Structure 1
Amino acid sequence: MRLAEIFERVVGPESSVAFRAYDGSTAGPQDADVTVVVRTPVALHYLAQAPGALGLTRAYVSGHLDLEGDMYTALRRMSDVALDGAFTLGDVARIVRSVGWEKFVNRVAPPPQEVQPRRLLGRGIRHSKARDAEAIHHHYDVSNAFYELVLGPSMTYTCAVYPDADASLEQAQFHKHDLVARKLGLESGMRLLDVGCGWGGMVMHVAREYGVRALGVTLSAQQAEWAQERIEKEGLSHLAEVRHMDYRDVPDGTYDRVSSIGLTEHIGKRNVPDYFASLHAKLRPGGRLLNHCITRPDNHSPAMRRNGVINRYVFPDGELEGPGWLQTQMNEAGFEIRHQENLREHYALTLRDWCANLERNWDEALGEVDIGTARVWRMYMAGSRLGFERNVVQLHQILGVKLDGTESRMPLRPRFEP
């Protein structure tokens, strides 16, 4: 069996994907708008050594496997293989015969974009301050200019909320920040702590739109530097500040509201109870917490695999939990739960727009990062879009209140939409 036919058999002849291999073989429909190209034997080594998603990712990121056509379309058609599939022993045997046993057994090192476990282990146990800083550095300290090309002017790297189907990404990010502000009941003169603040989008929004004094903290030095420059440029320094700081080091008992937008995924399950307890301690009585994070559909579906593609290439040490479990932990930490909603369709739309930005700015992006990193982003964002569409992952906002005695200080019928 020729190489292209092996790939077609693994993916499935009904996938509407064409295949072309370096041995001259082809398979699949000749008029397909998506073609997988096997450029070198190294692609086969990667797939045989790590069957399934990890091997495919290594081969694609390193350029030994290529794609002609749209990444999202390809992953949607090959989703069973791209997400969870694997070569059978028979497939591996055919690959060995094709490349030769001696070449096959010579192990090929993963591409440099893959985080090696020993690198993180050198920074301590999972979710220690030093190791968390290293994990955040890997993903967020890539290039602020690269992030601007992907995220657009808002520089907001979290799920947007689309007020209608025709809304732009910028309108949707503004609407998301405003939705969080309304859920928190922000008013002029209040103090907001935004943990895991990224490039300061929420901090600047509430300072500009609500007159709120806001502090954002992030473990990314590049994010903090960029955010502070933007705050000064917009003339918001009297209200807004972003610090390069661990949220655990922020003093307790001094804030009216806390927002956590996209941080919980980095905390680690065993640390979640202490995380919510810490945020509860930072609030004054009657204060509110809005926790916005990616979740898994339930407490039994697979969490983010420690040795999977996302942990190795995108979010080292990332962990996802079910919304019910997270809500319970907030409750156990002392919060009264007042509202919860799932925004997974909105994240699929957000990723659609980020993918479009990357493709539109591809050549410019390659001036900021190496092509392997750009390929990681292309694959990861397209795959994540598919995951939200197919309910593999979700996005939940949970609103909790730190009671003042028995008083919640919530309106009887709060309206969060304008």
Structure 2
Amino acid sequence: MKLAHIFEKLVGHELGIRVTAYDGSSAGPADADYGLHLKNPRGTTYLVTAPGDLGLARAYVSGDLDLVGSHPGDPYATLQALAGDLKFTKPGPLELAQMARDIGVEHFKPIAPPPQESLPKWRRFAEGLRHSKERDAEAISYHYDVSNRFYELVLGESMTYTCAVYPTEDATLEQAQENKYRLIFDKLRLQPGDRLLDIGCGWGGMVRYAARRGVHTLGVTLSQEQAQWAQAAIVAEGLSEFAEVRHSDYRDVPESGFDAVSSIGLTEHIGVANYPKYFTFMRDKVRPGGMILNHCITRPDNRHKSKAGPFIERYVFPDGELTGAGTIISKMQDVPNLEVIHEENFRIHYAMTLRDWNANLVKNWDEAVAEVGEGTARQWGLYMAGCRIGFERDIVQLHHALATRLDEDGAQTLPLRPWWDA
């Protein structure tokens, strides 16, 4: 049996895509605009030893499998076509035996994954227990200490690696990121002279935005490269009087009495079991009457498991966990004297943000490959395009939850209606 037909058996019949392989075989419609091309035997081994999205990712990142019809910096169109076709099935013993005879038993012997792949969870215990400070630092370093220059090429001038908020459908990525910071700043009711703590601050976008408006802002990040880049940007803008970014675990921040705390894209790394301590930490860091905003990726419901799938776990966010917005809000509500006052979903905005990041990667593809290598560049193109589909299809969402710390008697003096411009 030819390779393309074996692959067809793994992913389902009546494909709307075209599958071709290095042995000259093919399956699926000859006139299909999109498809898969298996380039060499190593790709076959990746696919049969890890059936599903992990095997596909290994073969693709290593350059052994091409997504036909799209640029590797933005394989969205091909992934979108594949998404309706790929329904992986686990072959039975007889089918596996037949496949082994057809393609050779040597392909069923696992080989080393691409160097971009992180260790499986069971091998990361040497770095500490899940969500210990040591293991969190290692997970953050894996994802964020890739290359500041690479992130500049993908994220653009704002160096903001979180969902933007588009004021209009034709707004640029930079306009949308500036608008996101404006929205969070306004929701937190910040005024000149106030103090803001931004945990998981990335390259300091929110820190600098607030500092430019006279707010004394402390940002913390577990990524050393982010902290160095952010501190240099603070100095370059002449914001040192108002802004500081520390290379630190948020749990090690000793200061308190802040007027507001923002968490923009950190909750995904915290672990659901740690939410009570996490939200208690934020409450304890703000003064009574202070504001808290939590911005994070969520699942569309509160029923499914929180752990990430194999591709996301190994290639994107090791130890990452997602849950529904309802779970997040309930955990916030369970913290004494913390009142949730507003929530909203920016799911479509994140799909648009990912679209624009992919476009940046395509535009800067040659320099990106020169900076981090083709495998890492392909990994990021695949990840961002796949996540875009996830947001478009309501597989994942992005939510803001806004809360305030009440006085001990439960009093609060906020305006009766939302005070910010949506």
Residues 12 and 88, structure 2, Cα contact 8 Å, conserved in 1: no
Deviations 1:83-104 (A, max 9, x none): x633433664453233212x13
Higher RCO (C-alpha 8 Å, min separation 6): 2
Which residue of 131, 137, 140 maps to 2:135?
Answer: 131
Which whole-Å CA distance do the structure 2 matches of 1:54 and 1:66 have between them?
Answer: 15
Following superposition, the deviation at residue 119 of structure 1 comes to: 5.1
- After superposition, the C-alpha distances for 1:350-386 in whole angstroms (9 at most, x for unaligned) are 0011111111111110111121111111111111000
State the shift of 1:81 in Å. 6.0
Gaps of 5+ in 2: none
Other structure's SS at 1:188 match: coil
Give how far 1:37 is off.
0.9
8 Å CA contact 2:3, 2:103 repeated in 1: no
Equivalent AA in structure 2 for residue 402 of structure 1? R
* 2:335 equivalent in structure 1: 333
| CA displacement 1:273-332 (0-9 Å, x = unmatched) | 100001111111111100000011111134333x61101111000000111111011111
* Contact preservation (8 Å) 1:44, 1:95: no
Structure 1 residues 14 and 202, CA gap change in structure 2 (3 angstroms): farther
CA RMSD of aligned residues (A): 1.7
Residue 152, structure 1, aligned to residue 145, structure 2: no
In the alignment, residue 132 of structure 2 is paired with which amino acid?
A: S
Deviates more, 1:191-200 or 1:35-44: 35-44
Question: Structure 1 14/153 Cα, relative in aligned 2: closer, same or farther at 3 Å?
Answer: farther
Alignment equivalent of 1:399, drawn from 386, 398, 402: 402
8 Å Cα contact 1:41/1:99 also seen in 2: no
Taking structure 1 as reference, are residues 149 and 93 closer, same or farther at Cα in structure 2, changes over 3 Å only?
A: farther
**Deviations, residues 175-215 of structure 1 (Å, cap 9, x unaligned):** 1011111111111110000000000000111111x211111
1:197 — aligned with what? 201
Give me the whole-angstrom Cα distance separating, in 2, the residues matched to 1:194 and 1:11. 45
Cα 1:17–1:91 shift into 2, 3 Å: farther
- Normalized against structure 1, the TM-score is what? 0.95
Shift of 1:161: 0.4
The letter for the 1-side match of 2:77 is T
Structure 1 residue 409 displacement after superposition = 2.8
Question: Which residue of the partner structure matches residue 243 of structure 2?
Answer: 240
Alpha-carbon distance in 2 for matches of 1:91, 1:259: 53
Whether contact under 8 Å (2:34, 2:81) holds in the other structure is no
Count of matched residue positions in the alignment of Structure 1 and Structure 2: 414
Indicate which of 360, 365, 374 corresponds to 1:362.
365
Deviation of residue 348 (structure 1)? 0.5
* Structure 1: runs of 5+ lacking an equivalent: none
Alignment of 1:292-371 (within 5 A): 292-305=295-308, 308-334=310-336, 335-371=338-374
State the alpha-carbon separation in 1 of the partners of residues 405 and 230 from structure 2: 29
| 1: CA distance, partners of 2:323 / 2:256 | 28
Q: Distance in 2 between matches of 1:328 and 1:105?
A: 46
Once the two structures are superposed, residues 24-82 of structure 1 have per-residue CA deviations (whole angstroms, 9 ceiling, x without a partner) of 11222333332311111222222221111111111111122122222112221222565
Look up the match of 1:179: 183
